[in-house]
Structure 1
Amino acid sequence: MTSPQGNNRCYALAFLIVISFSITYADGEKIGVCYGMLSNSMPSKSDVVNLLKTRNIGKVRLYEANRDALQALKSSGIEVIVGVGNNELQKIAGDQAAANGWVNDNIRPFSSSVNIKYIAVGNEVYANSGLVQYLLPAMNNIQTALRNANLQNIKVSTPHAMSVLSKSYPPSQGAFGPDMSGILKFLSDNGSPFMAHVYPYFSYRDNRNSISADYALFRSAKTVVNDGGRMYKNLFDAMVDSYISAMEKVGHPNIPIVITESGWPSAGSAVATVDSARTYNNNLIKHVLSTAGTPKRPERTIETFIFALFNENQKGSEEERHFGLFETNKSPVYPVNFSP
């Protein structure tokens, strides 16, 4: 969430991640974090990398190709998502040379020393209809640029907000609103994951009359939603499975899924408290690093990135400024166990 948009208000009580038959699934042995930099008091890039290493955080998402951050990540072993900004899509979509230049400037110099796993082309592009026409061409051109640079091991995808679904409850009825066939074919053809943002927080905040805090915070001991025999005890799983159902409906049941954003703010609304943020994020880590998976894809770890590493005081709203696990002085906002 560069801006949080996972609040599809249509669904009331459900969602998560897993498969009913064997597929290749994205690695999820360590938790990831989203490293935003919209603060006037950020620590140095080397201090951030040291923080990640000492806290056993094995993955990081950069929203843009920040060369100083990539330099600091050299030889760290940390897996990295590098973002192509929405403001770059039109140029890259219309010019293969521009895509080649982006890869040669931002990826190739670091490819031997930084563990760049994914390139995320744009962010929640379907929430900005003016950019949708550039998304798939930009993805294709970045893919070609990686091939030209002999870097095909890096996978190309694009992160989606929950609003890309026209229906998400119950999870088995998950369906896309816009035509996603081109994007999904690209992912399937290139062995890339579907990148999804999953925010039970927004669903709970906006639907407290129909969604319980226990369901949103992974605290339900009993099944809350029985979806044709698939039992859901937490909203995260239900949301993940609604994406998977949507992919199944358009003929792509086996594309792996990576949760590129999930989190809970510690301030900024009536349900954004330190206690709820601590509960959600600790339970999220425990869940996604286990082999529980989701009812549709059981017995899998779920590659997941928590939004966000830091509280960022230059974000747009008070709520957005308090998603951080740490203050920018590197002190924890609340205790977090980053191991399963």
Structure 2
Amino acid sequence: MAASKKLLIFTFITFSLAFAGAESIGICYGRVADNLPPPEIVAALLTANNILKLRMFDSDGAALAAFANSPIEIITAVPNDGLPVLAADPGAAVQWLAAYVVPFYPATRIKYIAVGNEIFLGSPDYAAFLVPAMQNLHAALQAAGLSDAIKISSPHAASILANSFPPSQGAFDPARLETLKPFLDFLSQTGAPFMANIYPFFSYLNNPASIPLQYALFTSPALFVDGDLAYSNLFDATVDSLISAMERLGHPDIRVAVTETGWPWAGGNNEAENVGNAMTYNGNLVKHVLSNVGTPKRPGVGVETYLFDLFNEDQKTGQDFERDFGLFYPSGQKVYDVSFSL
């Protein structure tokens, strides 16, 4: 069957499964690999599995066009090295929007523009350009009449927190406040979320003596009590630490969108990286997100969440497990059994 026909059938199935007011699960579309299917097949695969949100790490016109007329909401992106030009020249922001958004929207349901990724962790020299680039892109969106439909933010690693324990004492690194204060002001003024990349896997890997594996996997039999709140998993605790940090800077109402989280199923040298743990973490996370339970600080407020990664990325550098986060093989078969519906 042609991919386009599959897409129409899967779209109908997805809409029949969706229910009003609930979060749907998202997934990251990392493409540092040489064996991936074309974007048209990816669109059909996602829709068939009720995955209705997709995060891209670049702006690729061919990929954006492949998701036209699908129910999938898209995060498109400006790479870190694109920030200086956009920050310096409002006209460059207009040109970027004309090249990578306007030709595709609304047929392709672009929801967010992620400006940079983990600036403070990987590219701190670009931090000064972050907010000006976002402001210029927002002005371009306003001029195009799209600022209500498409929001702008920037994903940050959880290491942006100088303190994350207990969650009520969450606080940002003071050295980063010069950028973070205007960044949070921008999010508040435009109604955009704070985008965070949260990996309990890395927290456990770096500190197994203090973080129980079960607490990272959503399987802890015990609760951690923080004042009037009780935590059963590290994911919720990290989200609430970010909320507490924003509250300390006078922003209690900005929502958190988790733009990356996941667990590798291979490639490691210890007990953490295996199929069983990956299936447990991602399976429990999906149920948690779809149930809209929220977090202890914000009960009943669903946390928009994107799993990492759609496929393994065999050309990534770094430790072996960095290439083994994929939930699907390039054939479309699941690596392990995870349901993306309740």
Q: What TM-score does the superposition give when structure 2 sets the normalisation length?
A: 0.90
Correspondence for 1:312: 313
Correspondence for 2:169: 173
Q: Select which of 100, 103, 126 maps to 1:109.
A: 103
Which secondary structure does the structure 1 equivalent of 2:125 belong to?
Answer: coil
Q: Deviations over 1:129-176 (max 9, x none)?
A: 111011001000110111111111200000000111111111111111
Native 8 Å contact 2:47 2:71 kept in 1: no
Asked if 1:57 corresponds to 2:59, the answer is no
Correspondence for 2:250: 251
Question: How far apart are 1:331 and its partner, in Å?
Answer: 2.0
Native 8 Å contact 1:193 1:258 kept in 2: yes
- Structure-1 separation of matches of 2:22 and 2:245: 22
Give the root-mean-square deviation of aligned CA atoms: 1.0
- Structure-1 separation of matches of 2:23 and 2:172: 29
Correspondence for 2:294: 293
Which secondary structure does the structure 2 equivalent of 1:246 belong to?
Answer: helix
Q: Deviations over 1:51-98 (max 9, x none)?
A: 001111000001111111111100001111011111111111111111
Question: How far apart are 1:260 and its partner, in Å?
Answer: 0.3
Correspondence for 2:336: 334
- Structure-2 separation of matches of 1:260 and 1:254: 18
- Structure-1 separation of matches of 2:194 and 2:22: 14
Asked if 1:70 corresponds to 2:71, the answer is no
Asked if 1:29 corresponds to 2:23, the answer is yes
Question: How far apart are 1:314 and its partner, in Å?
Answer: 0.6
- Structure-1 separation of matches of 2:267 and 2:298: 34
Native 8 Å contact 1:166 1:175 kept in 2: yes
Which secondary structure does the structure 2 equivalent of 1:110 belong to?
Answer: coil
Asked if 1:143 corresponds to 2:170, the answer is no
Native 8 Å contact 1:31 1:303 kept in 2: yes
- What code does the residue aligned with 1:305 have? Y
Q: Select which of 96, 110, 114 maps to 1:120.
A: 114
- Structure-1 separation of matches of 2:212 and 2:190: 39
Q: Deviations over 1:279-316 (max 9, x none)?
A: 00000000011121111000122110001100010111
Which secondary structure does the structure 1 equivalent of 2:335 belong to?
Answer: coil
- Structure-1 separation of matches of 2:189 and 2:205: 38
Correspondence for 2:8: none
- What code does the residue aligned with 1:185 have? D
Over 3 Å counting, the alpha-carbon distance change for 1:314 and 1:28 in structure 2 is farther
Alignment of 1:41-56 (within 5 A): 41-56=35-50
- Structure-1 separation of matches of 2:205 and 2:143: 46
Q: Select which of 88, 97, 100 maps to 2:82.
A: 88
Native 8 Å contact 1:290 1:300 kept in 2: no
- Structure-2 separation of matches of 1:291 and 1:149: 34
The unaligned stretches of length 5 or more in structure 2 are 1-20
Correspondence for 1:325: 327
- Structure-2 separation of matches of 1:29 and 1:132: 31
Question: How far apart are 1:329 and its partner, in Å?
Answer: 2.5
- Structure-1 separation of matches of 2:116 and 2:299: 30
Question: How far apart are 1:123 and its partner, in Å?
Answer: 0.3
Which secondary structure does the structure 2 equivalent of 1:109 belong to?
Answer: coil
- What code does the residue aligned with 1:337 have? S
Native 8 Å contact 1:104 1:149 kept in 2: no
Native 8 Å contact 1:28 1:303 kept in 2: no
Asked if 1:182 corresponds to 2:182, the answer is yes
- What code does the residue aligned with 1:184 have? L
Question: How far apart are 1:28 and its partner, in Å?
Answer: 5.5
Q: Select which of 127, 133, 138 maps to 1:132.
A: 127
Which secondary structure does the structure 1 equivalent of 2:103 belong to?
Answer: helix
- Structure-2 separation of matches of 1:201 and 1:99: 36
Question: How far apart are 1:29 and its partner, in Å?
Answer: 2.0
Alignment of 1:169-248 (within 5 A): 169-177=165-173, 178-179=176-177, 180-223=180-223, 225-248=224-247
Question: How far apart are 1:322 and its partner, in Å?
Answer: 0.4
Question: How far apart are 1:212 and its partner, in Å?
Answer: 1.1
Seq. identity, %: 49
- Structure-2 separation of matches of 1:247 and 1:328: 39
- Structure-1 separation of matches of 2:74 and 2:108: 8
Question: How far apart are 1:254 and its partner, in Å?
Answer: 0.4
Over 3 Å counting, the alpha-carbon distance change for 1:213 and 1:313 in structure 2 is same
Count of paired positions: 313
